[in-house]
């Protein structure tokens, strides 16, 4: 019995290690190999070629500004929304994370449709923003795209903080609202802020769609858009060497910044997380401030997402560019043109790929999370987390080198890319939940007569269900709108919806691009909303009592427990 | 029911009161967390709030601290209105210090900086604040911990730091919310002693919430019994123990038994004539104030409350031993008697076995109000505090 269990363990460990090796390690090693095999001359030609330094500087500009701005914006919203007396608090929470369900490409494109030359505000009010296409526009849209991540992490950090009374203690020590924020709330969030900065750094470093849509037309190239230009638009050997070099550079930059950050941060974050701690909501007075905060968040969402979405929808139903989006100019022709046979195929491909990736990674993520609880599996968990830091463009180039000979131009290669890129998401979701499972529940099941397999299915699985479903959803949505890697790996016969949108935009077909963007966003919402509602229902059933307690303002667990 | 003092009169009538709560109600939606609570805490007085979990004692502390707004009623601290119908003072502007059940120490600050924190907020320069904080740590015997973080010290030490932080507030009123709930027994006593010592030095008033009857009786000048958001009784420890206003109040301060007497009647000063079925016997004791003055004293048959240590060996009554539990200093016996089941604490090791018959008497008995006649309908009840 014991022997066979151990063999099973080993086999599981082997499967997980093999998967991570094939998905991530092999492509990166091959990337490095190809780079070192290059002749010095072609490498130096690439390094001294035109525009490379520009792309590097532009990327540096983005990673130097976007993370700090996004963390500031997202955390400010999270801190503001913590106040219970904010009117329509629940709705504001949803508004704050709304940009997450809008694909990067769609967000960038809808901004150009809303505020660009000949866009929505231009045709209605004669106002347009000339800086939108260029560095400032790229930075602004990337900040809007990234801020919800910070918002979610800060909100979680506030909710899971070890002690609910730390702010009360400060107030009873004579600290006013601002002093509490400055001396207690913000210092306690420091590790969370650092984690947010690291995450935003990765997201910005590998961002491709926004710079492509808003930067490329203005000649603002980044490492990722240049890789795309090298591989998708050019065909000479130097371009390939250029792409490989840039991909390697992306990996090196990510590793140099993130590995030390992870080594320093991970233990601190783990220490800050204490089981069974309730959230704190300080009911600060000042209704006026609450209303102002609610207005600020709503106004921001309207400008950042609402109006651009309206502009996008308007563009998708308007007959021709430049016409005002009034009912007399409405048409369904854009959708009819856009939804041709290849696009329908692409939609099918996207759903099929996203579904496969989501199911496979939910299983693999859960496996790694379970193995991580043992000493032998810990390295595996770290590896799975670190894969997130590998920029998508670099991963795609590596996969192309490693497996292109056999899988080049097939959907299978795109699927492999999704598996490699989104493993970290599925793993994080599962391991967060596994971490919170008390050992005692497992031990109680075992001492009640359950074999390990039975204990896992009867005690762990029900507890992990919501987390696994959430991980599934993250992967599915992420893969559905993935464009960075897909645009490097697709072929004419095998493309995805996101690639179709990108190509349509490059052809300058405004109406069709807007229509496809609407379809893509609708798919995201159509897949995401039911699952998300199901998740909420599940978590409400699970934590119904705890939630009811927390609904009482400032009630301690003690006072609320008896009622 | 109110406390033992008259709620009438404005707070200005008694300037020695550090805290006055008048008709305080707290409602969370449909749930009443506190109902009509009035109490006063005098200068230098230690008042214990004794109640089970969820009784509302923490809510009362939070109302006084300003962390919870009363739905109605007034809070006066140091002669100034802190909360009332029209206005409410922020917690940081109330002259109170608080010690938390979960210590609530800031993980990012050293012990010294934690204790200096209130002084800094009061505008003391950093160097002076640290010097004062170091002095406080010294007084509490934890000066050697000054540079440590909360995660690096034990629970007992953490709670002393919490106390030092509250003391650094130089308040006239300290609120302690179950400060010993997470401490081991031996640390509990040490912490209580340091609270009392500091309280004597500073002359400050203390409102001390606890669910531990022994702690409340030992520490406090007066004990406030809290149950389901109501203040049942507010009186010195000996009074709440010997003369509870109701069975619920009696059960909060320690184990007690309920006997249904065929006839009970107050005779003379501090004596009762008790008939448990074998004819009347005169016992030292008294009676709870009736809930409604017009109904007068409860009519026979009466419901008697008896503490385990009021039962004596030898006496007019006959009982059969149902269970025996050796407790160290004394032995608990459950006795069966037609008037009810009786818990008796007799000194020394066990001298009787289950099934033995013994003669017993009462050194004291307490006649409960009419409200408790329903409880008396089940004469076998032996009530111990939760």
- pLDDT confidence of A537, banded at 50, 70, 90? confident
ipTM above 0.90, yes or no: no
Residue B369 vs residue A513, higher pLDDT: A513
Across A240-262, average pLDDT: 87
Are A56-223+285-322 and A344-543 in the same CATH fold? yes
Contacts of B361 (CB under 8 A, 6+ apart): B281, B311, B312, B314, B315, B316, B317
- Is A175 a residue whose pLDDT tops 80? yes
B63 contact residues in A (CB cutoff 8 A)? none
- Is A546 a residue whose pLDDT tops 50? no
| Protein fold of A56-223+285-322 | MetI-like fold (1.10.3720)
pLDDT in tens, A312-337: 999 898 888 777 778 888 888 889 88
Q: What is the DSSP string of A428-465?
A: HHHHHHHHHS-HHHHHHHHHTT--HHHHIIIIIHHHHH
Superfamily of domain A344-543: MetI-like (1.10.3720.10)
Closest partner CB to B100 (pick from A169, A179, A184): A169
For A277, the closest chain B residue by CA position comes to B102
Least confident of A7-21, A80-94, A469-483: A80-94
At A145, list the tokens. 């795209």
Q: What is the pLDDT of residue A190?
A: 87
**By C-alpha distance, which of B182, B183, B215 is closest to B385?**
B215
**Is B380 an 8 Å CB contact of chain A?**
no
Dmax of chain A from CA atoms?
78
- pLDDT confidence of A467, banded at 50, 70, 90? confident
pLDDT in tens, A426-463: 998 888 788 777 777 777 888 787 887 788 778 887 88
Q: What is the pLDDT of residue A163?
A: 55
Across A517-540, average pLDDT: 86
pTM (two decimals): 0.79
Half-sphere exposure of B373 (CA within 13 A, CB side): 13
At A407, list the tokens. 């899988």
Q: Are A354 and A476 in contact (CB under 8 A)?
A: yes
**Sheet hosting strand B72-77, strand order edge to edge:** B31-42, B17-28, B72-77, B80-83
Chain B contact probe: residue of A164, A173, A282 with most B CBs at under 10 A? A173
A170 contact residues in B (CB cutoff 8 A)? 106, 117
Closest partner CB to B107 (pick from A162, A164, A558): A162
A554 contact residues in B (CB cutoff 8 A)? 62, 67-68
- Is A84 a residue whose pLDDT tops 80? no
For A558, the closest chain B residue by CA position comes to B54
- Is A35 a residue whose pLDDT tops 50? yes
Q: Are B254 and B382 in contact (CB under 8 A)?
A: no
Q: What is the pLDDT of residue A158?
A: 80
- Please name each of the domains of chain B with its CATH number: 11-242 (3.40.50.300), 248-383 (2.40.50.140)
The Cα of B220 is separated from the nearest Cα of chain A by a number of Å equal to 22
Task: State the Cα–Cα distance between residues B133 and B23, nearest whole angstrom.
Answer: 38
Q: What is the pLDDT of residue A289?
A: 64
**By C-alpha distance, which of B273, B233, B279 is closest to B367?**
B273
Q: What is the pLDDT of residue A106?
A: 94
- Is A44 a residue whose pLDDT tops 70? yes
Q: Kindly give the confidence (pLDDT) of every residue in chain B, 386 residues in length, as a single tens digit, with 9 standing for 90 and above.
A: 444 444 444 545 566 789 999 999 999 888 899 999 999 999 889 999 999 988 999 999 999 998 888 999 999 998 899 998 888 888 888 889 999 988 888 888 999 999 999 999 999 999 999 999 999 999 888 999 999 998 889 988 999 999 999 999 888 899 999 998 888 888 888 888 888 888 888 888 999 999 999 999 999 999 999 999 999 999 999 999 999 988 889 999 999 999 988 888 888 778 888 888 888 888 888 877 654 444 444 444 678 899 999 999 988 899 999 999 999 999 999 999 999 999 999 998 999 999 999 999 999 999 886 544 444 434 334 555 43
Determine the straight-line distance between the first and last CA of chain B, rounded to whole angstroms. 21
Task: State the Cα–Cα distance between residues A434 and B199, nearest whole angstrom.
Answer: 47
Across A386-411, average pLDDT: 90
The Cα of B367 is separated from the nearest Cα of chain A by a number of Å equal to 30
At B379, list the tokens. 């004469």
Q: What is the pLDDT of residue A42?
A: 72
- pLDDT confidence of A214, banded at 50, 70, 90? very high
pLDDT in tens, B224-263: 999 999 999 999 999 999 999 888 899 999 999 999 888 8
Closest partner CB to A174 (pick from B58, B104, B169): B169
Cβ pair B106:A174 closer than 8 A: no
B101 contact residues in A (CB cutoff 8 A)? 556, 558
Q: What is the pLDDT of residue B289?
A: 60
Closest partner CB to A166 (pick from B59, B97, B106): B106
Q: What is the pLDDT of residue B14?
A: 61
A560 contact residues in B (CB cutoff 8 A)? 54
Q: What is the pLDDT of residue B7?
A: 43
Rounded (10°) angle between helices A104-115 and A307-317: 80
Task: State the Cα–Cα distance between residues A23 and A423, nearest whole angstrom.
Answer: 9
Least confident of A88-102, A513-527, B1-15: B1-15
Q: What is the pLDDT of residue A277?
A: 35
- What are the extents of the domains in chain A? 56-223+285-322, 344-543
Task: State the Cα–Cα distance between residues B78 and B80, nearest whole angstrom.
Answer: 6
Chain B contact probe: residue of A160, A167, A174 with most B CBs at under 10 A? A174
Q: Are A114 and A311 in contact (CB under 8 A)?
A: yes
């Amino acid at each position: 019995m014991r022997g066979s269990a151990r063999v099973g363990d080993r086999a599981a460990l082997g499967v997980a290690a093999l998967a991570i090796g094939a998905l991530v390690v092999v492509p990166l090693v091959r990337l490095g190999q190809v780079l070192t095999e290059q002749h010095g001359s072609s490498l130096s030609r690439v390094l001294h070629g035109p525009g490379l330094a520009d792309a590097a500087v532009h990327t540096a500009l983005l990673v130097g500004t976007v993370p700090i701005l996004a963390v500031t914006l997202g955390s400010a919203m999270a801190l503001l929304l913590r106040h219970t007396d904010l009117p329509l608090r629940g709705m504001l929470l949803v508004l704050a994370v709304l940009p997450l369900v809008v694909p990067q490409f769609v967000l960038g494109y809808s901004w150009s449709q809303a505020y660009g030359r000949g866009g929505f505000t231009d045709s209605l009010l004669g106002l347009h923003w000339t800086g939108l296409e260029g560095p400032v526009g790229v930075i602004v849209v990337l900040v809007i795209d990234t801020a919800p991540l910070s918002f979610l992490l800060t909100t979680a950090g506030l909710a899971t903080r070890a002690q609910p009374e730390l702010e009360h203690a400060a107030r009873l020590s004579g600290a006013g609202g601002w002093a509490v924020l400055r001396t207690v709330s913000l210092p306690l969030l420091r590790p969370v802020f650092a984690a947010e900065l690291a995450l935003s750094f990765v997201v910005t470093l590998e961002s491709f769609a926004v710079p492509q849509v808003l930067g490329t037309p203005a000649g603002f190239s980044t490492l990722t858009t240049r890789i795309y230009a090298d591989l998708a638009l050019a065909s000479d050997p130097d371009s390939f060497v250029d792409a490989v070099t840039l991909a390697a550079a992306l990996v090196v930059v990510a590793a140099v910044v993130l590995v030390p950050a992870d080594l320093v941060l991970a233990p601190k974050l783990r220490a800050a997380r204490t089981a069974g701690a309730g959230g704190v909501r300080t009911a600060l007075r000042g209704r006026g401030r609450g209303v102002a905060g609610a207005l600020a968040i709503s106004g921001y969402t309207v400008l950042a997402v609402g109006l651009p979405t309206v502009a996008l929808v308007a563009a998708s139903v308007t007959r021709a560019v430049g016409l005002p989006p009034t009912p007399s100019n409405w048409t369904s022709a854009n959708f009819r043109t856009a939804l041709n046979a290849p696009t329908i195929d692409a939609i099918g491909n996207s759903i099929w790929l996203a579904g496969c990736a989501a199911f496979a990674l939910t299983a693999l993520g859960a496996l790694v999370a379970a193995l991580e609880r043992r000493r032998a599996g810990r390295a595996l968990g770290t590896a799975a987390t670190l894969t997130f830091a590998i920029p998508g463009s670099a991963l795609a180039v590596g996969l192309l080198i490693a497996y292109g000979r056999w899988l080049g131009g097939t959907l299978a290669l795109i699927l492999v890319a999704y598996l490699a890129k989104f493993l970290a998401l599925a793993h994080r979701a599962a391991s967060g939940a596994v971490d919170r499972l008390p050992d005692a529940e497992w031990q109680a099941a075992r001492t009640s007569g359950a074999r390990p397999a039975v204990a896992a299915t009867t005690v762990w699985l029900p507890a992990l269900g919501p987390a696994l479903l959430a991980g599934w959803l993250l992967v599915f949505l992420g893969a559905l709108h993935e464009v960075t890697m897909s645009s490097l790996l697709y072929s004419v016969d095998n493309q995805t919806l996101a690639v179709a949108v990108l190509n349509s935009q490059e052809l300058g077909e405004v109406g069709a691009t807007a229509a496809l963007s609407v379809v893509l966003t609708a798919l995201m919402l159509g897949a995401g909303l039911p699952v998300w509602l199901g998740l909420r229902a599940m978590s409400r059933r699970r934590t119904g009592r705890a939630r009811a307690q927390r609904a009482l303002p400032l009630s301690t667990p003690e006072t609320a427990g008896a009622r | 029911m109110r406390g033992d003092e008259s709620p009438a009169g404005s707070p200005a009538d008694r300037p020695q009161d550090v805290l006055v709560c008048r008709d305080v109600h707290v409602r969370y939606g449909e749930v009443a967390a506190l109902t009509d609570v009035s109490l006063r805490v005098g200068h230098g007085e230690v008042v214990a709030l004794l109640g089970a979990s969820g009784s509302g004692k923490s809510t009362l502390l939070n109302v006084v601290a300003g962390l919870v707004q009363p739905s109605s009623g007034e809070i006066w601290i140091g002669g100034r209105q802190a909360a009332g119908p029209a206005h409410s003072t922020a917690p940081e502007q109330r002259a109170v210090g608080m010690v938390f059940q979960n210590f609530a120490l800031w993980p990012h600050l050293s012990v010294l900086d934690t204790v200096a924190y209130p002084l800094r907020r009061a505008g003391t320069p950093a160097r002076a604040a640290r010097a004062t904080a170091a002095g406080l740590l010294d007084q509490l015997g934890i000066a050697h911990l000054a540079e440590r973080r909360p995660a690096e010290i034990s629970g007992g030490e953490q709670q002393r730091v919490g106390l030092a932080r509250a003391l650094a507030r130089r308040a006239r009123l300290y609120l302690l919310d179950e400060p010993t709930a997470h401490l081991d027994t031996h640390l509990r006593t040490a912490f209580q002693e340091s609270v009392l010592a500091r309280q004597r030095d500073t002359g400050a008033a203390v409102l001390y919430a606890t669910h531990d009857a022994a702690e409340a009786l030992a520490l406090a000048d007066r004990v406030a019994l809290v149950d389901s958001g109501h203040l049942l009784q507010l009186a010195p420890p000996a009074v709440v123990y010997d003369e509870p206003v109701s069975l619920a109040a009696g059960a909060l301060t320690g184990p007690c038994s309920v006997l249904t007497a065929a006839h009970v009647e107050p005779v003379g000063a501090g004596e009762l004539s008790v008939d448990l079925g074998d004819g009347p016997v005169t016992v030292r004791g008294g009676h709870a104030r009736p809930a409604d003055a017009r109904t007068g004293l409860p009519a026979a048959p009466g419901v008697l409350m008896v503490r385990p240590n009021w039962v004596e060996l030898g006496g007019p009554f006959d009982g059969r031993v149902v269970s025996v539990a050796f407790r160290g200093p004394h032995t608990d016996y459950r006795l069966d008697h037609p008037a009810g089941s009786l818990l008796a604490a007799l000194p020394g090791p066990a001298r009787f076995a289950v099934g033995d018959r013994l003669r017993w008497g009462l050194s004291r008995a307490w006649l409960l109000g009419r409200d408790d006649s329903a409880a008396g309908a089940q004469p076998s009840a032996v009530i111990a505090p939760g």
